[in-house]
Chains A and B, each alone.
Chain A
Amino acid sequence: MPDLDTGHIFLTTLAPIKPYTKSDKSPTSFEQKVRVALAKLPTALQSPATVNAPRNSPFARNKRNHLARMFVLSDVVYNGRVGQNPIVGTIKGEDPIDPQKVDRLTTPYLVFCADIDAITKDGDPLPTSLSPAQQKEVRAAYARELWQTMESELRAIYSNCVGFDEVDSADRFAAYLDKCHVETTMPFHDYYLKLPRFHDLPFKGLIAAVAVPAVIAILALAARILGCLTVPVLGWSTLWTAVAAAAVTGLSFLLAVRFALANGARPLAPGEFDDLPSVLKALYVQQKFSDFFVEQQGASADDLYREFGAFLERTRLGDRSGPTQEPGVIRSP
């Protein structure tokens, strides 16, 4: 389940953008309208040009998304003809002058990706694993949170997409976004304090499970060819032993492949302090503690003890709700 990893959902949704029809009065295509709506979306306050801007990114209005991104995917990029060995091509009778099929998207898409805490309610702990139904509920909860905090922006963007006309509530937006959902295959995680235990593949065991019956099958077959009709001591037919061992080899190979795939799909456990409120609190404490350290250099032990007590009281280390760094800004006040 690559959507879920380390207690985060790596959400990817693709919403098809409406085609232009003769009944549309505006001279602007819907793809262009989506781009305009995205261009008007305020960015986070994290660059010289935006740090004093009056409006923050609407995604900063909730404390679940670590990262959010929207863009228009007009079409797939054509990479040129598929190369082929000329000898193979000649044998197959392919003429290099004939045009090949060019892959295209049937419509442009609005892509929305987000890296979010896999929780349904603010303050919940990050989960280790979730069933597909639970993941769906997490996505729906996030969609509802977005609707409640940035409905007008979502309307401005998604009203140019196919099937959005019916959406008029948080629940309907959640259902709509779920229809647009595609599985993420490459999640990325960057908060490790210490690396988790990865689900290493037991290579030796898997190879042994396949190789042992395979060797038995080959030996039994070789014995049969050399005229030995039964397995010494056991007295089994070498032919049937070879057949049975070959069957076990095939079966264990299939099981090993399925095991490897399932092993790869298992989500990693969440890292410590991986949820957004903890990350924001950590950023806050990091800034305040380095100030504190600089100010206290050379202080006497008594002063340091007293000041550190005051520091702990001020910063409330265990309290993720505050004081903390606000989302979407570059530094704590």
Chain B
Amino acid sequence: MTATLDLADIQGNIPRAYGRYSFPFARYFFLNIADAAKGRAFVDAVRRQVTTAARWPENAQKPACTVNIAFTFMGLLKLELPTRTLQGMPDEFIEGMKARAFILGDRDVTKTAEQDADWDRHWDPIWRRNRVGGDDSDNVHIWISLNAQLKQLGLAEPVDALEEKTEWLRDLCAASDGGVRILSGIGRDGTQDFQAASAVFDDFDGQKLPTAMEHLGFADGIGDPVFEGQLRPSEMATAVIGRGKREDGEWKPLAAGEFLLGHSDESQELPPTAMPPEFMKNGSFMAFRKLHENVATFDEVLEEETSRYGSVMGVSATEARETLRAKMCGRWKDGVPLATVPTYPEWQDFRKDRGFDDPNPAKALENQLKFIRSTEASDFRYADDMEGFKCPVGAHLRRMSTRDYLDPLNKIGTDPKTGKPYKNAAATSQLNKRRRILRRGLPYGPSNLEQKSDETEQGVAMMLVCASLFRQFEFVQQHWIQYGLDFHQGNNTCPLLGDHSHHKRHTIPSDPVSEKPPYVMSKLKTFVECRGGDYFFIPSLTALRMIAMGVVDPT
């Protein structure tokens, strides 16, 4: 049965990745509540501005700048929610992200807590000070995000509304008379009081246009899951291809309950809920993670592997570099999936066909963005490539969403009838559909792809939204990113996101037809490292009103 969602009750950042809806700028604020009553008054003021998921333009006007709000467990405690409600919250949310560092791979798993007491030394000061016990004045209680549209096409500048909303937020805090305070301590030096983020822009003779790139130079944010009720019925039929679940050879949207509380999920159950049920319904959970990218290290390691790969495989440096990048990610840098375009020559032809190399760079970008937004960019599967000859089994993309790879009935090897790998046409995504996560957020750092080092500030401000942080986010982070057994990769971690302080390998199988040996990248270093974050609850508009009134549980 198709779910109908009360979109006007759901916060807009759950069903919408704002970046794709032409909001290339964001500011993320983290606030502390000193006084419960003033905190509730603050929530009351903010909730009137909150951007809901109501559809543009038929049900609501598209704002120039969106507003969304979420709370940590410490925030809900500070706002004096009833004990019964707080007790019903999931354990991992109560503990917060820091306490889960061992599971998430943010802490060295070969060391005990005593041996690694200072494990978060590279985190931003705001997150280092968060949840250290005792003093509550440094704890992060509230997350507020502002997402802004472009001021003018061709300029890498946000609309004025972003600054106006920032001022409005500062004024609200000032008016609370110390009751609510914007925390500073963001960035390496800890001087900023909000986390700025923006799409990476490309420059075309002075015309600056937003791209889908992040700072390591990969097109990002392509295959986000699609769930029932998220999109207009007219959009759903195409959007679901490659982004939903695969059953009986067809793509279908995921159950709304995988991302929204109070709705049935893929196990056909209601996710556990805190009392009263209205408080959690239409809400969701979110992990905020500031993921720093060590661009210089990445480039260095890639160069070293490039020369070795080039000589082993007998290909040019350019082909070696691009192939290695693609084999690590699972897509070529422009977002073309390896599963459909597996080799470098094919990719070059594909680019030519699609006009990605158009002499007019703006036109080339437009063609690329058109491809990324088409079903083609997501319409692929892995069960027809069980051994990873096209897309390595341990590649980033295959780890993040395993699609139909984990169906236990899949056959591995060569089909004697065709002489090719088994197609496994009936494979389903049963073991994948309960681990999907909505990725929200934008790159941060300079808004261009100019020279960067490990020390400069760049990366992705990630918000990972799902109904259960434990079952979805933490599982993927622990088992699929920081460990490789489901992919027959032993302890090898994700080549892009994994911690490579101990396990430095990534295997790239070769189709035996090519008569080339497999290649093992063996000198990986940690390219992406967490710089802090926490777990948040994103309430519905109903729940925000309940919090603001201080009457969450009237019984």
Contacts and interface: CB of A to CB of B under 8 A. Distances in A.
Contact of B520 (A48, A49, A51, A293): A293
Given A293-B520, A297-B519, A297-B520, A48 B112 contact: yes
A230 B117 CA distance: 95
B488 to A, nearest CB: 12
B505 interface: yes
Contact of B505 (A48, A51, A294): A294
A49 B115 CA distance: 10
Contacts of A290: 505, 520
Interface in A29-75: 48-49, 51
Contacts of B111: 48
Nearest to A299: B312
A333 interface: no
B519 A48 contact: no
B312 A298 contact: yes
Interface string B301-329: 00000001001100000000000000000
A48 B519 CA distance: 31
Nearest to A295: B522
A297 B110 contact: no
A69 B2 CA distance: 49
Nearest to B110: A48
Contact of B522 (A49, A51, A294): A294
B364 interface: no
Interface residues of B, number: 13
A294 B308 contact: no
Interface string A265-301: 0000000000000000000000000100110011000
A297 B308 CA distance: 8
A248 B111 CA distance: 70
Contacts of A51: 110
Nearest to B518: A293
B339 to A, nearest CB: 25
A21 to B, nearest CB: 42
A48 B312 contact: no
B89 interface: no
Given A48-B112, A51-B110, A297 B505 contact: no
Given A48-B111, A48-B112, A298 B520 contact: no
Contacts of B115: 48
Contacts of A293: 520
B107 to A, nearest CB: 10
Nearest to B312: A298
B112 A49 contact: yes
Nearest to A331: B491
Contacts of A48: 109-112, 115
B520 A294 contact: yes
Interface of A, secondary structure class, is loop
Interface in B30-55: none
Interface in B495-518: 505, 517
Interface in A284-325: 290, 293-294, 297-298
A298 B109 contact: no
Nearest to A51: B110
Contacts of B112: 48-49
Nearest to B313: A298
A91 B519 CA distance: 74
A48 B116 CA distance: 11
A61 B517 CA distance: 40
A290 B520 CA distance: 9
Interface in B103-149: 109-112, 115
B311 A298 contact: yes
Nearest to B310: A298
Nearest to B504: A294
Given A48-B109, A48-B111, A51-B110, A298 B308 contact: yes
B509 to A, nearest CB: 13
Interface in B373-397: none
A165 B236 CA distance: 74
A298 B517 CA distance: 10
Contacts of B522: 294
Contacts of A298: 308, 311-312
A298 B519 CA distance: 10
A51 B109 CA distance: 12
A277 B505 CA distance: 28
A280 B42 CA distance: 63
B493 to A, nearest CB: 15
Q: Of A48, A290, A293, which is in contact with the most chain B CB atoms at under 10 Å from its CB?
A: A48
Contacts of B517: 297
Contacts of B308: 297-298
B116 to A, nearest CB: 9
Interface in B271-324: 308, 311-312
A298 B111 CA distance: 35
A294 B508 CA distance: 12
A134 to B, nearest CB: 37
A26 to B, nearest CB: 33
A298 B109 CA distance: 33
Interface in B49-79: none
A295 to B, nearest CB: 8
Nearest to B114: A49
Contacts of A294: 505, 520, 522
A48 B115 CA distance: 10
A115 B194 CA distance: 57
A313 B411 CA distance: 37
Contacts of B311: 298
A290 B521 CA distance: 12
Q: Of B112, B115, B312, which is in contact with the most chain A CB atoms at under 10 Å from its CB?
A: B112
Contacts of B520: 290, 293-294, 297
A51 B522 CA distance: 24
A297 B115 CA distance: 36
A294 B311 CA distance: 14
A51 B502 CA distance: 15
B252 to A, nearest CB: 34
B320 to A, nearest CB: 12
A290 B112 CA distance: 28
B499 to A, nearest CB: 14
Contacts of B110: 48, 51
Contacts of B519: 297
Contacts of B109: 48
Interface of B: 109-112, 115, 308, 311-312, 505, 517, 519-520, 522
The 6 closest A-B pairs by CB, nearest first: A298-B312, A294-B522, A49-B112, A294-B520, A48-B112, A48-B110
Given A48-B109, A48-B115, 10 more contacts: A48-B110, A48-B112, A51-B110, A290-B505, A290-B520, A294-B520, A294-B522, A297-B308, A297-B519, A298-B308
13 contacts: A48-B109, A48-B110, A49-B112, A51-B110, A293-B520, A294-B505, A294-B520, A294-B522, A297-B308, A297-B312, A297-B519, A297-B520, A298-B311
